[in-house]
Amino acid sequence: MSAADREAIEAFKRDVIEPSMDALVILDFWAEWCGPCKALSPVLERIAESYAGKGVKLVKVNVDEQKLIAAQFRVQSIPTVYAVFQGQLVADLTSARTESQIGQMLDQILRQLPIQGSDAALHDDIAPLIAMGEEVLDGGDAERAVGIFSQLAEMAPEDLQVAAGHARALIAAGRTDEARAVLDAVPEDKAKDAGIARARAALALAGEAGAVDDLGGLKARVSADPDDQEARYELAGGLMAAGDRDGAADVLLGSIERDREWNEGAARKRLLTLFEATGLEDPWVSAQRRRLSAVLFG
């Protein structure tokens, strides 16, 4: 083995094998003369930057300069992109060409590997503070919760649980425009996160359920005419705005029981949005789902 080959192997151990013991290393096999390689390179660099906090590292291997390494991986065409963990090839990413495609593949790989990047470590560090913010919010002190989550957002701007809690606190404080800005800043590929979806549901409810000055009048209308679905819908919105989710659920369930198809199922849609805004794992939601099932199928 030549001195150059020994040096290449040592460099590969240092740059790839050792980091891969606790990180996912993306290997990009490329060459100066390869047009597709040059097109893919900035895509991989952006992905590596955005996933660095999740424990992902990019290493480029020039096949002309590191022929031994390319031969060891049996690279027959370029660009070839592999993912390596703990010294083992765990995935072939070559077929992916866009950030979205590569990101989806990385997300799937990372879910299966015991990798804790700096983002996860930071989340663990601030988890007690997130729990405190949620407790304060559940206790009804929205402005204090906003203060807690605002500080957390400065510490961990990419943390989805912080963003979701911050948005819900702002909504509870009546600052819906600010909440919308927080949610709009969440990357599109993270929009399906359960916490973010819950916050968006809460924002939707806040937009629909404005404060009602005369809840008593609406209750009287419903009492006088139980089939007045418009009054029921407005009453449910007013009750939600007042923080009375039990009352809102009762009204909406009553509306569904009388006419589930009214206004294209508006009462059921609002009730489901209320469930999502509360949190689908919440015991209250489970109890209300059973009530809804009894109405629909009983």
- What's the order of all strands across the beta sheet hosting 56-62? 56-62, 24-30, 80-85, 88-92
Among candidates 51, 160, 28, 163, which has minimal Cα distance to 115?
A: 51
Q: In 3-state terms, what secondary structure has residue 88? A: strand
Instruction: Give pairs for 102-111: CB < 8 Å, separation 24+.
Output: 102/43, 102/44, 102/47, 103/47, 103/50, 103/51, 103/189, 106/24, 106/47, 106/51, 106/54, 106/56, 109/24, 109/83, 110/24, 110/54, 110/55, 110/56
Question: Do 63 and 30 contact (CB within 8 A), yes or no?
Answer: yes
* Paired residues of 82 in beta bridges: 27, 92
Estimate the crossing angle of helix 283-297 against helix 245-258, to 10 degrees: 10
**Which of the residues 8, 23, 25, 34 is marked catalytic?**
34
Tokens 């209250």 sit on residue? 284
Tokens 């031994």 sit on residue? 68
Q: Is 49 a catalytic residue?
A: no
Q: Is 37 a catalytic residue?
A: yes
Phi/psi at 292 (5° precision): -65, -40
**Which of the residues 37, 83, 137, 179 is marked catalytic?**
37
Question: Do 200 and 279 contact (CB within 8 A), yes or no?
Answer: no
How many angstroms separate the most distant Cα atoms in the chain?
Answer: 95
Q: Residues 158, 84, 116, 11: what is their CA dihedral angle, to the nearest 10 degrees?
A: -90
List the catalytic residues. Answer: 34, 37
